[in-house]
Each structure stands twice: as structure tokens, then as C-alpha cells.
Amino acid sequence: MLNMAEGLARLSALAASPVVSALAAAFDDAGRELSVVGGPVRDAFLGRQTNDLDFTTDASPDDILRIVTPISSAQWDIGRAFGTIGAKVQGESVEITTYRADSYDGVTRKPTVEFGDSLEGDLARRDFTVNAMALRVPACTLVDPTGGVEDLVERRLRTPGDPRVSFGDDPLRMLRAARFASQLEFDVDPDTVAAMTELRETLSIVSPERIQGELVKLLQTADPVRGIRLLVETGLIDLFLPEVPALRLEIDEHHHHKDVYEHSLTVLRQTIELERERNPDAAPDVPLRLAALLHDIGKPATRRLEPGGGVTFHHHDVKGARMARKRLQALRFDSDTIGTVTRLIELHLRFFGYAEGAWTDSAVRRYVRDADAELERLHILTRADVTTRNRRKAMRLASAYDDIENRIAALREQEQIDAVRPELDGNRIQEVLSIRPGREVGEAYRFLLDLRLDEGVLGEEEAERRLRAWWAARSA
């Protein structure tokens, strides 16, 4: 429940902070208006940490630069065309933007930049009412022309005006609605949801890079599931990640299996919980969360209804990894992220064979070797993938994974399992076998690596003996 008295007290503290005070005094001395705007005001009411300070003013970009230069250690004007000047004031980065009154052509999401003449007009063009509040400084006066405070109290996300106009101006705002719904744990106003559904096709004018950016921000929230459900409900996600709603497989009365869509959302939530437990101070792991959301997207394409009511999804891990690669490439994700996500999807089923029967040390070594740099993430994803309501089964799987992690730790201590290499490198293989560089060297290396994984440390002398025997048998 929003406590207004505490919220107003935090606003006063924000206005009195060194950075805000310094800027407020400088603009006031110059005869210009200045207001803290958007997220910092909203977060002060909610008692949330504010990471960025955004300001708006009636001053032109040239005047902003002139005013802030004496009180800042650095300035940048990369956003000058949009009226924004950046500066570092008392060690903090701030952005100050001239009042805006933009218009849109409906074909692209790039506005025709027009500067406005009032704070209220500037606020009315913003995305949501809770982001359309301002704190005038140094007077410390709250300006809320669109009912942002009321929406904070109701925990409601709503556009300042007609949502069809707002989303028609900038379709990316529809994805922001999903992100803020998750970030703030707010419900989206029904008219706003209806507009998102009606205008979802307009998202096609937004670049893949912008869509990817909003998807990443959504996945970085404490509970992205709320936003994902909204994207599925409105059909927006069909335009950039259709594999997720496709997980809602039709279930008939004869062939029973778990709801793959709900399972995937549960896995995502459990992944985030485990991520926080294991790495409480780390930033949100977006590649891991992507893998959790997408780990079963190969199931619809591999689903087979078996006689007697069974359902199979053979090789959905391999299929899903290929599908994820293609989709993430279309969204312009970087190669490292794509590699991590697809590798985790490929490997997410590997552990379940361990639960059926104890692995040899060789199998454990191969598990570590195949996961390589993604092993810790794979630990989290595999544990999160257990969503059974059968308590006994869940405990058995958890115990099995405890066991495999303990064995990995023991093998690491004994033989540096993370750096498993054959005793002989390529140069030594050429010397022992008297061969030149080529395909045979690679085959010999893989033979020795398999020996190392299967049997552990052999020693150089034994490795040479085994290599010669292998070469003789191969030549014969």
C-alpha cells in the first residue's frame, strides 16, 4: 500500500540531494525552469532505488549546455537533436531535456522533434501516467496532470491519454507496458490492454534491435512472467517470439501431458529464484533466463501421440536449440548470448539419465566437458526444470543433482576436471606417430581425449602406448 506521507518525504529528500540542488540553483539563477521527471519521481513514491536522474526544462539545448558547464565535470550532446544534453554533476550522470511536443507520422516510430512550451504539455506526451509526474525544483512542487499518483495507489498502468493514440504514435510503448507491469508489479488498465491487442500489428515498424532491448529489460525484472503473460494475451509476442505461445499445446482427453507453456513459465520463475540463491549480488542473467523460457520450444514440432495415450517429444532439445538460434539471430542478439542459450537448450535433458542410474566417472567428466563454461548455468536450469507435483519424485531428482554436483566437485579437486586435456598435444602426436599435420592428428587427439574422459589421468608413457596401439589397429 502506497504511503503518501512517506512518498512526499522521499520527494523532499530527492529535491534536497546534492546533485538536484546544484542543478536547481543553476537553472533558477539563469531564470529557467527545471523539474525532475519520470522514473525518479515514480520510484521515490514507491520507495524504490533510483539509478538515473532525468530532468526537463524550458531552456533550449544550447542554454542547457551553457548552464551546466560551470557545475559539471563533463558534458555530452549526443542527444542534442532531440533536445537532450548529458552531464556529470558531482560524480553522477544526468540528462536534461527541453520540453517536447513531438508528432509522429504513423509509418516509423521516429518523431518529428518539436520543442514544447510547458511542463504539463511535455508530461502529457509521455508513455504512462506513473511516468508522467514531475517535481519542480527548487520549489519542490509535485506536478501530476494525468493522475499518476492515483494510478500508483491503485497499482495500475495507464496511458496519459487515449492508448490507441499513444501506441499508434510509438508502438514500442506496448512492450514497455509489459516491462513496467513486471517491474512495478502493476496491473494494466483494461482499455490499455485492449489497445495493445488491437494495435499489435503496428509493432512491425519497430526494429528488431529495439524489440530485443525491451525483451532484455523485461527479463531483467524480478518476475518477468507477468509481462510475458500480457504479451501472450495481447498477441504481441506472436510478432517477435511466436515459439512461446506455441507452447500452449492442445491437450485431448486421451493423451495427457503437462501444460508446456505453464511449465516453461514455472521453470523461468524457478530459474530466477535459484539464480538469486546462488549469485545474490550478480546482475540478472539474461542468457540463462532466455534458455529457461525457450528450453522446450522444440516440443510442438516433435510431439507424437502414441497408442495407449502416451505423448513423446523425442529430440526436442536438439530441435529447440536450432529454433532458438534462428529466432535470437532474427532479434539481433550477440553471438555469445546465442551460443549460451542454444548450448543450454541442447544439454537441458542430459542430467535426467543420471537420475535413472548412477553415472560412471567418465560420464560425469563428459557432462562437465560438454557444458564447459555453461556448467553453472546448466546446474540452475536443470534443477529449475523439475516442476512435478509429486513430492517424492521431486526430492529424488533434487538428491540426484546434489550427488552429481558433489561428484563434480570431488573430480575437480582430484584432477582439474575443468581443464581436461589429453596427455599428448598435437605436436607430440606427430612425433610419436611420425606423421605430418592433417586430419589424422585431429583423429588421434580425439582418441586420446576420449581415453582421458573415460579413464581419467593415464600418464604420458601410457598415453603413448595406447596411441601407438590405436594407430597400428587403425592402419591394419
Are 77 and 172 part of one and the same domain? no
- Residues spanned by the domain of 88: 1-149
Within this chain, do residues 132 and 162 fall inside the same structural domain, yes or no?
no
Q: Where are the beta strands (DSSP E) in 309-424?
A: 311-312
Same domain, 377 and 396: yes
Check whether residue 114 and residue 85 sit in a common domain.
yes
Answer yes or no: is pLDDT of 456 > 60: yes
Give the pLDDT of residue 54: 95
- Residue 262: per-residue pLDDT: 94
pLDDT of residue 341: 98
Confidence of residue 252 (pLDDT cuts 50, 70, 90): very low
Listed in sequence order, the residues at least 6 apart from 349 whose beta carbon sits closer than 8 Å to its beta carbon are 317
Question: How confident is the model at residue 336, as a pLDDT?
Answer: 96
pLDDT of residue 45: 92
Look at residue 107 and tell me whether its pLDDT is greater than 70.
no
Query: What value does the mean pLDDT take over residues 59-64?
Result: 96
Residue at which a domain ends, from 116, 149, 182: 149
Tens digit of each residue's pLDDT (9 = 90 or more) over 376-429:
999 999 999 998 888 888 888 888 888 888 888 887 766 555 556 788 888 989
Q: What is the CATH number of the domain that holds 21?
A: 3.30.460.10
Burial class (CB in 10 A: 0-12, 13-18, 19+), 20: buried
Looking at the structure, tell me whether residues 183 and 170 fall in a common domain: yes
Total residues found in the chain within this entry: 476
Answer yes or no: do 302 and 207 share one domain.
no
Average pLDDT over residues 441-456: 83
Q: Which three cell numbers stand for residue 283?
A: 546482475
Residue 33: Cβ-neighbour burial (10 angstroms; 0-12, 13-18, 19+)? middle
| % residues pLDDT > 70 (the chain) | 92
For residue 357, pLDDT over 80 is answered with no
129 lies in the same domain as 163: no
pLDDT of residue 254: 38
CATH code of the domain in which 293 resides: 1.10.3210
Task: Specify whether 375 is located in the same domain as 460.
Answer: no
Is the same domain home to 126 and 236? Answer: no
Same domain, 434 and 399: no
Specify whether 228 is located in the same domain as 258.
no
Domain's final residue, options 240, 270, 305? 240
Note the pLDDT of residue 342.
98
Q: Give pLDDT tens digits for 282-333.
A: 999 999 999 999 999 999 988 887 776 677 788 899 999 999 999 999 999 9
In three-state secondary structure terms, 157 is: strand
Which amino acid is residue 22, in one-letter code? A
Of 93, 128, 149, which residue sits at a domain end? Answer: 149
Number of domains in the chain: 4
Average pLDDT rounded to a whole number, residues 33-42: 95
Largest CA-CA distance found in the chain, in angstroms, rounded: 93
User: What is the residue type of 125?
Assistant: R
- Measured CA to CA in angstroms, residue 356 lies from 351, 353, 396, 401 at distances of 9, 5, 10, 11
Residue 253 has pLDDT above 50, yes or no: no
Judge whether residue 80 has pLDDT over 70.
yes
pLDDT higher than 70, residue 26: yes
Task: Please report which confidence band the pLDDT of residue 355 belongs to, taking 50, 70 and 90 as the band edges.
Answer: low
pLDDT at 356 (0 to 100): 61
Q: Is the pLDDT of residue 1 over 60?
A: yes
Tell whether 202 and 264 lie within a shared domain: no
